[in-house]
């Protein structure tokens, strides 16, 4: 398993998948940078007039509802359907699920109009998705990822998507398989959009065409290890954000295997 | 007074107020990061369909017109009215006031349709707001904050808002009270959105539920001190932006009191 | 020539041209920061209600279609026409030209409805513009800038714009004049929006009112040298992005002349 994860990281560099992001304004710059740092090719496009054409040339699609509005949601649906038609993998980031009825409605629509290869959220988002009764406090996680495990299993059963709960320990869930990764550092929660970055990296890894479940595990492992190593040379969230990108780019095989904390 | 400012800084960390930002595209990432660094919880949402629900769960609202358009202005008005109804504090950042008739019109509408707890701008914006005759040069300040003091007093009288003029010396004005803070560094003007960050931090401090006037002073003190300390270890605006976030996060009590330059 | 380039760099600092950007969401923050670091004054505004007024007070206009949609394209056209009327210089960044039919259509419309002083793109974008038959891979360059030279000459002949192809070697082309600049570093391609930043800097330099061709060469020289010097103190794309801004700000005359690699 461990060797496979590092192989996938190399695969991203070799194939440089084009990842089409329909994502939120807050993280466009940082997720594009993370995708470039890892060796993928980001493109951001949201016009209804072009999203289907963009999906056509892309290797994967990232849908992130962080700063949603109706025009963007329409574009997400068009892109999602086209990606499904073309059998291109799609990852959903249900940012702030549970925070407002509008968000819940949009997520429900997206889940009913197309198929997602992967859903990634924090514990409270995953639980909100599963229950639609749980209120999140904005976009931060207020629940531990352990509590969300059963919610994730429910979602996986209902929608068929690999479900990833990110947190101090990341859970990657498909059927009866669970991978747990305990890398990263608490300070990462003080950098905006780290969750969205995880989702974007998942977009890169599933864009290689390799097995989805392992791709998600690989993305989360790289994410957590880069954050953990970056933390060790940072003075706060500003330098952590910078060092994280450097480490995504220059992480060595030795660093990867020495730092990886995984259970499966 | 000085002790009170530091207490408020601690309060932000303890309460972690949820700050709802309807702000401009340029600064979404950096202001979210500043809010996280200070210990607050940022959420960015602008859809007319959800802003009222978001205000409901938020502790304060930030309205920043930097990259305004009609749909966003409508959302600002909805959110403003809901915040007023619920007695939640709102801060206005009239970015580029005076630069175009459209901006002036929108600001006039916002000020007439709701109540702002705080208005923060640079000297030229505050004067433009007061006179609607003064043309700003884009979003940079071309007038000293001293000249704007009488304009700020006028605005405070007219709208009841605490008015903050940021600049080499920041003025915080309410009725006959004036607090002046002379921290910060000129290089901060070479980092985009530092004014917007000040406004976002004000959003965090007023989100604690403490006295508005003191909250604004505390936010501006923390802002200026973080910038000043960050400058001392920076080589230019790029590293200043990073070090500023680190310092917002790790500023010590000793650093605060040793650096604070305040008159009241 | 070389001395002239440095003189123009100083000119930007003295005049601090106001650069009106209608640009993409991904790079708004980073291009605003680059403009501030170089001594220019950025403003981002895209509402149809105000773009003409903003052009009126600006010294130059940057049109960048990276994350285009219809409302924004309408604003671009209004701003472009107003800038043409007022004889204010305009630079076009045709991000992702060739990637989708919509992008191609919009570019064709823009080029037919107004005049651009400068067009800057990577090799694949310039070739797509010239041929409209060449498909780009998202927004990254897949063709060398040498191959694009004839495409650039064609565009220059057809539209009268100075054409700049950025890449390992930048080409600046007007009639039978070609300037080649070979500064920069390959790692710059791993920082999102470096092309957009080059375009924004061109906006600053042409905003001085000096000769357009030389202004573009000066912008590209400063861009490449800042990137090259920043690389030498960076560990990856994260620190490169930061050091690049620092170097734009604090580049010395000696550094400039020692590093400049130019052919003309």
**Res. A136: pLDDT tops 60:** no
CA–CA min distance A208, chain C (Å) = 16
What pLDDT is attached to residue A10? 98
Q: Which of C192, C182, C168 is nearest to C95 (CA)?
A: C192
Question: Which residue does chain A place closest to B51, by CA atoms?
Answer: A100
Q: Which of B44, B54, B241 is opposite residue A100, by nearest beta carbon?
A: B54
Mean pLDDT of A83-100: 97
Tokens describing residue C216: 């573009």
Give residue-wise pLDDT tens across range B194-208. Answer: 999 999 999 999 999
Check A191 against B42: CB less than 8 A apart: no
What pLDDT is attached to residue A131? 81
What pLDDT is attached to residue B146? 58
Cβ-contact B111, B159 below 8 angstroms: yes
Check B57 against A138: CB less than 8 A apart: yes
Provide the pLDDT confidence category of residue C134 given band limits of 50, 70 and 90. very low
Q: How far, in Å, CA of A131 to CA of A150, rounded?
A: 11
Provide the pLDDT confidence category of residue A143 given band limits of 50, 70 and 90. low
Check B53 against A29: CB less than 8 A apart: no
- Partnered with residue B122 across adjacent β-strands are B166
Check A70 against B50: CB less than 8 A apart: no
Whole-number mean pLDDT of chain C?
94
CA–CA min distance A42, chain C (Å) = 7
What pLDDT is attached to residue A134? 44
Q: Which of B25, B102, B190 is opposite residue C50, by nearest beta carbon?
A: B102
Interface of C with A (CB under 8 A): 24-27, 29-30, 66-70, 96, 99-103, 135, 137-140, 189-193, 234-239, 241-242
Interface of A with B (CB under 8 A): 24-27, 29-30, 66-70, 96, 99-103, 135, 137-140, 189-193, 234-239, 241-242
Check C37 against B237: CB less than 8 A apart: yes
Tokens describing residue B112: 């007439």
Mean pLDDT of A201-224: 98
Provide the pLDDT confidence category of residue A102 given band limits of 50, 70 and 90. very high
**Res. B136: pLDDT tops 60:** no
DSSP states of A161-185: -EEEEESSSEEEEETTEEEEE--S-
**Res. C141: pLDDT tops 60:** no
Q: Which of C87, C96, C90 is nearest to C111 (CA)?
A: C90
Q: Which of B102, B138, B237 is opposite residue C33, by nearest beta carbon?
A: B237
What pLDDT is attached to residue B32? 98
List of chain A residues whose C-beta atoms are within 8 Å of the C-beta of residue C241: 33, 242, 245
Check A33 against C138: CB less than 8 A apart: no
Give residue-wise pLDDT tens across range A163-203. Answer: 999 999 999 999 999 999 999 999 999 999 999 999 999 99
Coil, helix or strand for A118? strand
Give residue-wise pLDDT tens across range C50-60. Answer: 999 999 999 99
Provide the pLDDT confidence category of residue B131 given band limits of 50, 70 and 90. confident
**Res. B145: pLDDT tops 70:** no
List of chain A residues whose C-beta atoms are within 8 Å of the C-beta of residue C103: 50
Check A29 against B29: CB less than 8 A apart: yes
Give residue-wise pLDDT tens across range C208-235. Answer: 999 999 999 999 999 999 999 999 999 9
Q: Which of B26, B29, B189 is opposite residue C44, by nearest beta carbon?
A: B26
Radius of gyration of chain C (CA): 17
What pLDDT is attached to residue C133? 41
Q: Which of A32, A53, A244 is opposite residue C101, by nearest beta carbon?
A: A53
Provide the pLDDT confidence category of residue C140 given band limits of 50, 70 and 90. low
Interface test mutation site (partner C, options B140, B195, B236, B242, max chain C beta carbons within 10 A): B236
Check A28 against C25: CB less than 8 A apart: yes
Sign (positive/negative) of CA torsion B72, B44, C191, B224? positive
Whole-number mean pLDDT of chain A?
94
Check A27 against B25: CB less than 8 A apart: no
Interface test mutation site (partner A, options C100, C135, C231, max chain A beta carbons within 10 A): C100
Provide the pLDDT confidence category of residue C147 given band limits of 50, 70 and 90. confident
Interface of C with B (CB under 8 A): 18, 25, 28-29, 32-33, 36-37, 41-47, 49-50, 53-54, 57-58, 71, 241-250
Provide the pLDDT confidence category of residue C135 given band limits of 50, 70 and 90. very low
What pLDDT is attached to residue A204? 98
Helix segments in C16-148, DSSP class H = 28-38, 51-57, 70-85, 101-113, 123-131
What order do you get walking across the sheet with C41-44 strand by strand?
Answer: C41-44, C18-22, C60-64, C90-93, C118-122, C162-166, C170-174, C177-181, C262-263
Give residue-wise pLDDT tens across range B20-79. Answer: 999 999 999 999 999 999 999 999 999 999 999 999 999 999 999 999 999 999 999 999
Tokens describing residue A23: 């994502």
Question: Which residue does chain A place closest to C241, by CA atoms?
Answer: A242
What pLDDT is attached to residue A193? 97
What pLDDT is attached to residue A145? 57
List of chain A residues whose C-beta atoms are within 8 Å of the C-beta of residue B34: none
CA–CA min distance C150, chain A (Å) = 26
Q: How far, in Å, CA of A206 to CA of A217, rounded?
A: 10
**ipTM of this model?**
0.94
- Partnered with residue A180 across adjacent β-strands are A171, A263
A-C CB pairs within 8 A amount to 100
What pLDDT is attached to residue A141? 52
Mean pLDDT of C29-45: 98
Check B69 against C47: CB less than 8 A apart: yes
Coil, helix or strand for C86? coil
Q: Specify the range with the lowest mean pLDDT, choosing from A1-5, A56-60, B119-123, B137-141.
A: B137-141
Check C102 against A49: CB less than 8 A apart: yes
**Res. C9: pLDDT tops 90:** yes
Mean pLDDT of C174-198: 98
Check C102 against A18: CB less than 8 A apart: no
Whole-number mean pLDDT of chain B?
94
What pLDDT is attached to residue A132? 67
Using CB atoms, list chains with 3+ pairs below 8 Å to chain A: B, C
Tell which wins on pLDDT, A138 or A186.
A186
Q: What angle do CA A73, A188, B55 make, to 5 degrees?
A: 45
Q: Which of B26, A197, A32, A26 is nearest to C31 (CA)?
A: B26
Using CB atoms, list chains with 3+ pairs below 8 Å to chain C: A, B
Q: Which of B67, B70, B190 is opposite residue C45, by nearest beta carbon?
A: B67
Q: How far, in Å, CA of C225 to CA of C197, rounded?
A: 14
């Amino acid at each position: 398993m461990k060797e496979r994860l590092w192989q996938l990281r190399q695969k991203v560099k070799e194939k440089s998948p084009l990842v089409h992001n329909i994502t939120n304004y807050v993280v466009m710059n940082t997720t594009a940078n993370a995708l470039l740092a890892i060796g993928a090719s980001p493109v951001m496009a949201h016009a209804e007039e072009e999203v289907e054409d963009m999906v056509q040339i892309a290797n994967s699609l990232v849908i992130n509802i962080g700063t949603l509005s109706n025009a963007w949601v329409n574009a997400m649906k068009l892109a999602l359907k086209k990606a499904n038609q073309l059998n291109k993998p799609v990852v959903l980031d249900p940012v702030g699920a549970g925070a407002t009825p509008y968000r819940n409605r949009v997520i429900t629509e997206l889940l009913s109009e197309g198929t997602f290869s992967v859903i990634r959220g924090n514990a409270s988002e995953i639980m909100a998705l599963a229950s639609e009764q749980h209120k999140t406090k904005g976009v931060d996680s207020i629940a531990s990822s352990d509590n969300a495990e059963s919610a994730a299993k429910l979602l996986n059963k209902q929608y068929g998507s690999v479900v990833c709960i990110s947190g101090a320990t990341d859970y990657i869930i498909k059927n009866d398989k669970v991978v747990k990764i305990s890398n990263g550092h608490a300070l990462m929660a003080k950098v905006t959009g780290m969750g969205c970055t995880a989702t974007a990296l998942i977009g890169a890894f599933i864009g290689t065409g390799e097995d989805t479940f392992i791709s998600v595990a690989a993305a989360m492992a790289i994410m957590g290890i880069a954050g953990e190593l970056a933390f060790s040379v940072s003075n706060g969230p500003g330098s952590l954000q910078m060092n994280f990108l450097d480490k995504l780019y220059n992480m060595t095989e030795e660093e990867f295997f020495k730092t990886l904390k995984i259970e499966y």
